[in-house]
Structure 1
Amino acid sequence: MFAVWTSLFVVLSCSGTAIGYQFPVPDFESPWLPFEAQAGKSKAMREIPHGLNEVPFIVDVQVKSLDAPNKGYIFQATGGIPRDDDEPEPYSGVVYIYDESKIIVSAPHHGNGANNGYAIYTEDGNYYTGANNQSSYSVDIRVRAWRMSSLPKADFEKTSIPMKAGNTTYRHLRAIVSDVYRDEFHGFNEYPSMILVRMNLTFTRGKLTAMADAVGANFVTYRDNIYRQNYHIVHGVSKNRIRVWIDSQYRAYIFAGYDGYPISFFAVEGYLEMYAWKPNTMAAQEYSQTLLGPNVPNETFEMPYKNNVLNPFTRVWVRSNTGPNAGFMFLGSGAMAYVKTVRDSVCSYGGLVYAYDTVNIRFWRPTSAINGGLTCVSHFFGNGTNSQMSTDAEVVIRSWGVDSISEYNLVIVQLYNSGHEIMIGNC
């Protein structure tokens, strides 16, 4: 196995500010809140007012496991629906959307199919392999949000890009590629340290109503079916480009929460927004990488990851080294969803699942039992442009600290206890 663990080196100014980048105190932060899948809508969904009177810029929804074997580990909520409830296989994923007044968070909840959705589900078996097995309905969630004005200005920004899911009127017409696929040049000539891709969703009557963050892979890909649809946006980023795919099939959606999630909202079109920050603008305070895949010798699914940063904001990507998206990184998540039947000729399901605490980080990946991959871009998305499935990929992990009132003292104590070097600038 190949692994690189870059030592954490933190510089503290006289004011206690950590360098690399330290996220400021969130403009909104909820307490840890109880949440439960399959226990009625009041427990499986929350509308959390954020009080910002504007659409938050970055939203972070953390899902904490209350049960073994991942007790205390944080799974990342996702901005797209992983799957509906019309399949017999288990699935998981806490999802969210947001607007100028609230953040809506939902766990799986029985609609009209099987009662098999969990807040956290992990599998070390036939269709996923990884650190362990877990099936949990009850979790705690925490929501953090920042205004645009609270964060560094993005080094790349492109907004108001119209996109529309596949043709809604005539089955025989193919979607226009520019409606369902975008390839934009950010021009950094290096990987962004941080990236945000999201869709300002349009309800059927044309009013902009909510924001959905893009995901990093097709969770489960459905062929056009009146009862089964794909409800997420896929994106990837390279040293110079950002690519975005949405469903190009007949009767396609960008987002819908009716079936398996109690979010009464759907959208078939919207306006894409892209933001990226260079490493010298939002440098991670902790960085590491490794390889995962069935062809990786001595593959491991748990690694030491001492989050010496305060209140970590952690993101994990998989980087494809082959195929039409070679060099592109795709975001991981805390959602696991699969089907045992091949749905797509390229990739039926996929994506990296990860969770972390203050000591370790854990991984789960699709197996090669059917066409599931760490990189998964279905040919049903983007009219098949640059579709790809890869089973092996490089994993890139970045973590930032988040300020709090007691940030200075806690960072000093954490660094002292960990044996890391501390430098204090001249006062």
Structure 2
Amino acid sequence: MDFGAGIIPSEPTFISEWNYLKAQDDTKSELFVHFPDSVDTTTRPVKVTVEVRIKASGNSYIFNAFGSSPRDDDTPKKYGGVIYFYNASGVIIMLPSSTNQFKSGGAVYCGEKKDWYYPTSHQNKTIDEIDFVEAEVRVKMWQQKDMPPRYDSGFVYTMTSRNLSKGAVVTYLEVPVKIHPDIVVVQAEPVNPFSRMPGLISEGNGMPACLRCGFQTGSLTFAFNASHVRLWVKSLYPIISAMDGWGRNEYYHFGTHAVRVRILSWTLDSAVNSSGMTTKIGDHSTTTPKLVFPSETVTKDLLVQVLIRPLSGPNGNFSFYGAGSVVTFRGYGTSHRYSGLVFGYNNFGVYVWRVKPTNMSYVFDIDYPWGSGRQKQQTNDVEIDIRVIGLMKKAKRKCMCPCNKVHAVRYTSTNEEALTKEIVKMKKELMVLKNETSVAMRRKISVKDSRPSAAASGAVWVIFLLAMVGFIVIPDVISGVRFILDFGAGIIPYEPTFISEWKYVKAQDDTKSELFVHFPDSVDTTTRPVKVTVEVRIKASGNSYIFNAFGSSPRDDDTPKKYGGVIYFYNASSVIIMLPSSTNQFKSGGAVYCGEKKDWYYPTSHQNKTIDEIDFVEAEVRVKMWQQKDMPPRYDSGFVYTMTSRNLSKGAVVTYLEVPVKIHPDIVVVQAEPVNPFSRMPGLISEGNGIYG
């Protein structure tokens, strides 16, 4: 009954520090925030918010990030935004980073004053136009134990934005939630998991700010009223996307048109410390609302929401959350309508920016391709609702142990996993198994029989059993020994389990110096390969030549001396391939470099012709991968040896090992995995190299 009355939201399970980021900067436009060891990383959060802080006109303002890419960078029209995805272990945060000539995206952008209504500050002073490339970001994360939802659908709804030959296209859903929600979160996970971030979740956004804004952009929009949640995705567009102009573009090819959706909602207790205001806006309104706090407030103790509700029409009384940045500037293109409601907050209040209505812009607008045109509506008659919810401190709870004789408090909640495990263990220890009692055991044991006839009968059965062993088991043993001896003579290696197509790459090019090759669905991705080779092909002096890549970085770019190389790592599902890409003024690295002839002996071609000096920035790469079933090793040590290159206070430094292998090998592969797993590529393997130049 207490829970039925609603909840008082707790402060976040985890709040990160503020971290500096910068749009259009390859080294500062992306950040992965790991959840600490104190957090249970076996279950995914119920809510994550990424806050973006800038300083304008003497005050700091905090805006919220988007749950997926709201637009691309294919036009010079200004925009802003930060996007994020998360799983059980952390959050990936990305800012705009151009993949073409248009560096039009920033961290936060609130439009030009001729197109947008700006609020005044808490002191009623003018706020300058907000257009920031640099910002600070912070993660707030709630796990279920600290914010248990009143309603949780689970990932039971599937939405698809185009025909994937596996079912109907579903771009609009209306789902009953059976309660009157005060807070709603919509989580989407790709139907085909993203191997670089297992368990990835994208949170749905509120009112769409742009109807199209690039064919590689993706999002899920939702709204709710007292009993239903409505969901829209864009027909033919990705639903989750980080494509075309976000972060370091390592996720450039990540976009999915099919997702599973989970709806979570909360009803707040009447005792929640909250405040708010509601403002009606019409065609002729020229102001925009703000809520000023009675006194300065610590923002990390608040949950701030701004919602927009059409007063009538198809979406009347449905609430849409506001956005965290303007993603259009007078439209993505000259013929594209746009809309927008942006909000920010600080220690002194909550502030709303809204679009000025024109024949191309509305305060509220949802239309095709969203939901294939379902529940479409354009209106300037809306209600804007500002809500500020105080978060309860996580107080120490009383001991849940069964008696007052416990001196050390072990469990403070009946929901704790450790308590559940201990209860199960105690039940097992106290349970009496009927088939193991002395009475039951006596029924299964025969007493000794000294009669000669009993001994004779037993001897007959012993002879019979020995004959069975002789006729059945021994021939199988002989066959097995023959197989082992045949195998011991060696193997004939099979063709690779998987060979990729040749792919174009280019050193010193931010968009072409890295490539992710996924193993196909036909390959077993539950076990890691026994060998992977990455081949690098160039054409010199009229002939193609193939070189092998390195299993790790052979050198850096801190001198102008020329070098070449391609490096790669892999896990059970894919291979990441990287070419040199400068982090300083020296762009000295290429794809393949064979040195100058004054320093290196060059061979001649198969026609005995001279081969020109090889110094190539561009190349093609191909992956060959063998799994154990297609190339079973004669000897496999497993990952039993540890090597360390410096004193990590956990043992001796081990920079050299000599290991007996007991056979004469013709092929040897040495695989290395980090002692501390690399969260962005679980199960990463680096193959050892031969002689270094």
Asked whether 1:371 is paired with 2:360, we answer yes
1:391 is aligned to: 380
Report SS of the residue matched to 1:274: strand
State the alpha-carbon separation in 2 of the partners of residues 230 and 390 from structure 1: 24
Once the two structures are TM-superposed, the CA of residue 329 in structure 1 deviates from its matched residue by 0.5
Counting only pairs closer than 5 Å after superposition, residues 123-202 of structure 1 correspond to structure 2 as 123-131=111-119, 132=127, 133-155=129-151, 157=153, 159-167=155-163, 176=168, 179-188=170-179, 190=180, 192-202=181-191
Query: How many pairs are equivalent?
Result: 373
Change (3 A) 1:48 1:129: same
Once the two structures are TM-superposed, the CA of residue 293 in structure 1 deviates from its matched residue by 4.5
State the alpha-carbon separation in 2 of the partners of residues 106 and 68 from structure 1: 22
State the alpha-carbon separation in 2 of the partners of residues 56 and 285 from structure 1: 24
Asked whether 1:28 is paired with 2:17, we answer no
Asked whether 1:328 is paired with 2:318, we answer yes
Asked whether 1:58 is paired with 2:36, we answer no
Q: Which amino acid counterpart does residue 245 of structure 2 have in structure 1?
A: G
Asked whether the 8 Å contact 2:85–2:202 carries over to 1, the reply is yes
1:92 is aligned to: 80
**Which structure's CA Rg is the greater one?**
2
State the alpha-carbon separation in 2 of the partners of residues 76 and 396 from structure 1: 16
Q: Where does structure 1 lack aligned partners over 5 or more consecutive residues? A: 1-18, 170-174, 408-427
Change (3 A) 1:282 1:102: farther
2:108 is aligned to: 120
Asked whether the 8 Å contact 1:193–1:282 carries over to 2, the reply is no
Q: Where does structure 2 lack aligned partners over 5 or more consecutive residues? A: 120-126, 397-693
Q: Aligned to 1:273, which of 251, 259, 262?
A: 262
1:8 is aligned to: none
1:105 is aligned to: 93
Q: Which amino acid counterpart does residue 149 of structure 2 have in structure 1?
A: K
State the alpha-carbon separation in 1 of the partners of residues 282 and 103 from structure 2: 31
Once the two structures are TM-superposed, the CA of residue 145 in structure 1 deviates from its matched residue by 0.6
Q: Deviations for 1:17-44, whole angstroms, at most 9, x for unmatched residues?
A: xx9955334222211111111122x311
Q: Deviations for 1:81-101, whole angstroms, at most 9, x for unmatched residues?
A: 121111221101111111122
Q: Which amino acid counterpart does residue 23 of structure 1 have in structure 2?
A: P
Asked whether the 8 Å contact 1:202–1:208 carries over to 2, the reply is no
State the alpha-carbon separation in 2 of the partners of residues 284 and 374 from structure 1: 30
State the alpha-carbon separation in 2 of the partners of residues 255 and 282 from structure 1: 37
State the alpha-carbon separation in 1 of the partners of residues 333 and 233 from structure 2: 17
Asked whether the 8 Å contact 1:21–1:285 carries over to 2, the reply is no
After TM superposition, the runs of 4+ consecutive aligned structure 1 residues lying more than 6 A away are 204-208, 342-345
Asked whether 1:238 is paired with 2:225, we answer yes
The one of the two structures with greater contact order (alpha-carbon pairs below 8 A, sep at least 6) is 1
Q: Deviations for 1:243-280, whole angstroms, at most 9, x for unmatched residues?
A: 0000113xx21022121212502211110111112233
Asked whether 1:44 is paired with 2:40, we answer no
Once the two structures are TM-superposed, the CA of residue 324 in structure 1 deviates from its matched residue by 0.6
State the alpha-carbon separation in 1 of the partners of residues 194 and 345 from structure 2: 41
Asked whether the 8 Å contact 1:222–1:343 carries over to 2, the reply is no
Report SS of the residue matched to 1:125: coil
Q: Deviations for 1:298-344, whole angstroms, at most 9, x for unmatched residues?
A: 62344423475762111111011122111100001212111535869
Asked whether the 8 Å contact 2:211–2:370 carries over to 1, the reply is no
Report SS of the residue matched to 1:323: coil
Q: Which amino acid counterpart does residue 32 of structure 1 have in structure 2?
A: W
State the alpha-carbon separation in 2 of the partners of residues 117 and 379 from structure 1: 25
Change (3 A) 1:204 1:30: closer
Asked whether the 8 Å contact 2:357–2:363 carries over to 1, the reply is no
User: What is the Cα-based RMSD across aligned positions, in Å?
Assistant: 3.1
Asked whether the 8 Å contact 1:230–1:247 carries over to 2, the reply is no
TM-score, structure 1 normalization: 0.78
State the alpha-carbon separation in 2 of the partners of residues 269 and 46 from structure 1: 26
Larger mean CA deviation between 276-285 and 231-240 belongs to 276-285
Report SS of the residue matched to 2:56: coil
Change (3 A) 1:44 1:293: farther
TM-score, structure 2 normalization: 0.50
Change (3 A) 1:337 1:291: same
Asked whether the 8 Å contact 2:205–2:321 carries over to 1, the reply is yes
Overall identity of the aligned pairs, in % = 23
1:319 is aligned to: 309
State the alpha-carbon separation in 1 of the partners of residues 192 and 210 from structure 2: 23
Report SS of the residue matched to 2:150: coil
Change (3 A) 1:113 1:384: farther
Once the two structures are TM-superposed, the CA of residue 70 in structure 1 deviates from its matched residue by 6.8
2:404 is aligned to: none
Asked whether the 8 Å contact 2:216–2:244 carries over to 1, the reply is no
* Structure (1/2) with the larger strand percentage: 1
Asked whether the 8 Å contact 2:204–2:221 carries over to 1, the reply is yes
Change (3 A) 1:222 1:168: farther
Q: Deviations for 1:207-235, whole angstroms, at most 9, x for unmatched residues?
A: 96411111112222228xxx633311110
Counting only pairs closer than 5 Å after superposition, residues 295-374 of structure 1 correspond to structure 2 as 295-296=284-285, 299-306=287-294, 311-341=301-331, 348-374=337-363
Once the two structures are TM-superposed, the CA of residue 60 in structure 1 deviates from its matched residue by 1.4
1:3 is aligned to: none
Q: Which amino acid counterpart does residue 44 of structure 1 have in structure 2?
A: S
Asked whether the 8 Å contact 1:85–1:260 carries over to 2, the reply is yes
State the alpha-carbon separation in 1 of the partners of residues 29 and 141 from structure 2: 21
